Structure 1
């Protein structure tokens, strides 16, 4: 679309569309990274207007200001384009999740015009006396975003019917449910139950992934009890299949990978806490980067607390592309860990090659095609894509349990075992080489191979152990 007069250049539609995603599916771009599922930002029709964030105009480029219950935003494409995308993905064995906004609509929405009684007005989340969690049900994200009252039966039925329509009409594979804690619990349970009764009893499975944004209450499990419980309350039978693991994210993304506040002992500990504190059978999503935070490589470059990362508008001096190897190496091992621990990991677009940027909206640059990337970006992409492809090839890296092996402040090694197969993951976060001796699981013997090493280096098991030399900031997947 044409630029919106008055909108900041960083908070504008850049031209990405559904057809572009279809092209990336069909040309093998996603296959090269081992991608098996796509979470698409909301593609429902949004307002053409913009609103001010302070003195800067922001458009609905993100998709979270819906004005229609059903209908693809024409700036992104047509229903035929969405059909083509889903069909192309399914031919490649890739599932497609729709981002479903259930907490609010834009004030221009058809429902708000016809049924104002379906919505609540109140204080604005995050302002004085209006805490995001304490006022989670009644606070408004913005004054122009009416809050859906899920206690109203007509509103509840309408939004659930819309979700069912999207799933069935476009043969989607599930939903990423936005802002879960900001709607009544019954909204999640009723939505899940209706999907189960309508589709899953006939054998069609849908994946429901929730976003319940919580924090991290410090380096103490007991202090984080509320965080774990709030996320867990929406997961289970006739509920969500899993949620984004915000506790693990806050405990590790910056503290371990970018700021060096903690090491691998801390990383292993909090990984195990996540496995222990969420419901049995849940499929949680570990993540390093997302559209809600500054880019991971810029945090690795500047430090997560840098004022530069808070500069996000076109008239400000924003984060620059890193000019040294270190940030790229940090991101490479961070994403290796993220892709190889249990769960359904999120890879935020662009992180695979090191897209830079500060806080939202500066974290939403256009994706850079391979031919336009520099040498450091290409090297990072090659490292990350090898991890993704090995994960797709090895069932134990997708479904296996987690067993720490040798763990030091600098080096983490753990085993992932599923049925009779085991892979050993080794990550060195130090800026210098490390040698580590690992006692391997009993089902591994003979000669093992590092599946991430382009040359396929090998290790001989002797007396149940292997000795592994790890280059600075490197990772390995060792298996038969």
Structure 2
């Protein structure tokens, strides 16, 4: 593989990008089925993406000076909806949006040696039954889901069961019946990863508990003050009577989380800190989430997008595709795919991304059509809590997009991957450097990111994303190299009711390209090169293109 693209491709990318409008429609086949194994998932921190309502920026007197990038910055649910309506996600070929948790966060802040920190990231729950007002209202969440569905985009809600938020002067401990505050995890084996606190002052929910517990007094008082105590208690009574579950911590939280499915019709859960909780918890959540999704569909037939069942993807930190269905704790192996998860986040891709195209693509195709057949992984190049991403300095933004979006499996676009948003912010401590506000200003100004114009980066990711969105074979198909030099491969996807195939060429010469498509496309068939926008007809088993790009993305 060539180490860098010639200057010419960047100039052409820039010129072509200038013609890309944020609101333009994607040219995709209308009958293309949505397949989770081919999903192009956009992951964003709700607080750091787009501020759609400046009136909700400060709540609960959260005015204490925080460490750099460790306070709320104004992003919200309405801001996400605005970008859906503008066509930003559609233009990028995104068909699923995963946003960080939006339930009510702790009101206070904590300093763990990284500066005063508020729960802007969404992982410090105070009340699972309420939305965080900094992020928005129930009406705004409902609008977000319905707007996404109208644009063919699924909603992945990020959920936490493992822990509450830290204890502060404003946020009381849930009590010894609900959580533990020690020992802290040492990660030496299964028990020291599961029955312990992730870090100091992050109470670990007693998900293994079998004895029934009362609700925390502080939570009951909060509900009473908000005028919804009776409603919440009645709903809990109905849930436990209907399911027969004991009133233990895990089932209270499962009820609260599945309410978001029943009420709003979210399509999927991203499960936080999976390996720190008993696998059976996730199996129980899957059972109730699936039931809730079918209930929502029955009540809202006009809002149903398709026949896909509820979907769950797990964050098993350090899981890699090479592990197949198993995660190894050292003293115990767990199959999370057998416990409600259809996919796991793949922490291995960032290392594989340093390899050649064929090494990556053949490895992932073999894994997903072998040990992981029927399941999938979500690949990423960068993320919110991985300090060693593939391209931290943003010097390989074009290469990162090519490898991520053309790799078998689902793809996770972390907000700003497509615009070169900096992952190395001076003055930050820890993972805050990965969580700056979306660089809309640099996109508007078409700033230079290490020699590449932002709009040129975006154009590259858009073309690849739209190709993936139009062709399930890209992520869910079987990979086969057609030639090594020049490098071409095909992907083939077959199901009981849909077939798809594509041919891709990478690191090609600019100018005229003759592509052998025999055995894939028929004579007389008109194909589209999704990178240049050129349409060509198959003649004598070949197509000929004359483009200024080193990439060819052929599909019908």
Q: Fold conserved (TM > 0.5)?
A: yes
Q: Secondary structure at the match of 2:130?
A: coil
Q: CA deviation at 1:232?
A: 7.4
User: Could you tell me which of 432, 436, 439 is aligned with 1:361?
Assistant: 432
Q: Say if 2:145 is the partner of 1:86.
A: yes
- Matched-pair contact (CA < 8 Å) for 2:111–2:117: yes
Count of equivalent residues: 433
Q: Secondary structure at the match of 2:133?
A: coil
Corresponding residue number in structure 2 for 1:477: 553
- Matched-pair contact (CA < 8 Å) for 1:216–1:224: no
Corresponding residue number in structure 1 for 2:530: 452
More deviation, 433-442/271-280: 433-442
Which of structures 1 and 2 has the larger relative contact order (alpha carbons within 8 angstroms, sep 6+)? 2
Q: CA deviation at 1:98?
A: 0.9
- Matched-pair contact (CA < 8 Å) for 1:122–1:138: no
Q: Secondary structure at the match of 2:73?
A: coil
More deviation, 55-64/111-120: 111-120
In the superposition, relative to structure 1, how do residues 273 and 225 fare at CA in structure 2: closer, same or farther (>3 Å)?
farther
In 2: Cα distance, 1:434 partner to 1:215 partner = 42
User: Could you tell me which of 151, 163, 170 is aligned with 2:208?
Assistant: 151
In 1: Cα distance, 2:69 partner to 2:154 partner = 30
In 2: Cα distance, 1:293 partner to 1:74 partner = 28
Corresponding residue number in structure 2 for 1:313: none
More deviation, 81-90/335-344: 335-344
Corresponding residue number in structure 2 for 1:307: none
In the superposition, relative to structure 1, how do residues 34 and 273 fare at CA in structure 2: closer, same or farther (>3 Å)?
same
Render the CA deviation track for 1:34-69: whole Å, top value 9, x for unaligned: 221111101111113222242522221111111112
In 1: Cα distance, 2:187 partner to 2:344 partner = 25
Q: CA deviation at 1:123?
A: 3.5
Q: Secondary structure at the match of 1:141?
A: coil
More deviation, 22-31/45-54: 45-54
1:277-356 correspondence to structure 2 within 5 Å: 278-294=371-387, 298-299=391-392, 301=393, 327=395, 330-356=396-422
1:19-38 correspondence to structure 2 within 5 Å: 19-38=78-97
User: Could you tell me which of 251, 256, 259 is aligned with 2:351?
Assistant: 251
In the superposition, relative to structure 1, how do residues 140 and 436 fare at CA in structure 2: closer, same or farther (>3 Å)?
farther
User: Could you tell me which of 387, 394, 402 is aligned with 2:464?
Assistant: 387
Render the CA deviation track for 1:354-376: whole Å, top value 9, x for unaligned: 11113621111211334243261
In 2: Cα distance, 1:333 partner to 1:231 partner = 35
In 2: Cα distance, 1:18 partner to 1:371 partner = 22
1:20-419 correspondence to structure 2 within 5 Å: 20-108=79-167, 113-125=173-185, 129-131=186-188, 135-153=192-210, 154-200=248-294, 205-214=309-318, 233-236=335-338, 239-247=340-348, 249-253=349-353, 256=354, 262-276=355-369, 278-294=371-387, 298-299=391-392, 301=393, 327=395, 330-358=396-424, 360-369=431-440, 370-374=443-447, 376-397=453-474, 399-407=476-484, 411=487, 413-418=489-494, 419=498
Render the CA deviation track for 1:216-274: whole Å, top value 9, x for unaligned: 69xxx6999756999971114x6112111223x14323xx1xxxxx3234323432343
Corresponding residue number in structure 2 for 1:259: none
Render the CA deviation track for 1:267-305: whole Å, top value 9, x for unaligned: 234323431554321132122221123585853x4xxxx
| Structure 1 vs Structure 2 CA RMSD | 3.6
Q: Please list every run of 5 or more consecutive structure 1 residues that lacks an aligned counterpart in the other structure.
A: 257-261, 302-321
In 2: Cα distance, 1:276 partner to 1:348 partner = 26
Q: CA deviation at 1:461?
A: 6.0
In 1: Cα distance, 2:274 partner to 2:383 partner = 17
Q: Secondary structure at the match of 1:98?
A: strand
Corresponding residue number in structure 1 for 2:302: none
Q: CA deviation at 1:89?
A: 1.3
Q: CA deviation at 1:192?
A: 1.0
In the superposition, relative to structure 1, how do residues 224 and 333 fare at CA in structure 2: closer, same or farther (>3 Å)?
same
Render the CA deviation track for 1:99-136: whole Å, top value 9, x for unaligned: 001111124499974542222333434xxx54486621
In the superposition, relative to structure 1, how do residues 348 and 62 fare at CA in structure 2: closer, same or farther (>3 Å)?
same
In the superposition, relative to structure 1, how do residues 283 and 275 fare at CA in structure 2: closer, same or farther (>3 Å)?
closer
- Matched-pair contact (CA < 8 Å) for 1:452–1:476: yes
In 1: Cα distance, 2:312 partner to 2:325 partner = 24
State TM-score, norm by structure 2: 0.68
In 1: Cα distance, 2:263 partner to 2:175 partner = 25
- Matched-pair contact (CA < 8 Å) for 2:387–2:434: yes
Q: Please list every run of 5 or more consecutive structure 2 residues that lacks an aligned counterpart in the other structure.
A: 1-56, 211-247, 299-306, 425-429
Corresponding residue number in structure 1 for 2:47: none
Corresponding residue number in structure 2 for 1:316: none
In 2: Cα distance, 1:205 partner to 1:216 partner = 25
In the superposition, relative to structure 1, how do residues 271 and 343 fare at CA in structure 2: closer, same or farther (>3 Å)?
closer
Q: Secondary structure at the match of 2:501?
A: strand
Q: CA deviation at 1:206?
A: 1.2
Render the CA deviation track for 1:315-355: whole Å, top value 9, x for unaligned: xxxxxxx6xxxx2xx32232233223333321111111111
In the superposition, relative to structure 1, how do residues 35 and 268 fare at CA in structure 2: closer, same or farther (>3 Å)?
closer
State TM-score, norm by structure 1: 0.78
Q: Secondary structure at the match of 2:552?
A: strand
- Matched-pair contact (CA < 8 Å) for 1:33–1:388: yes
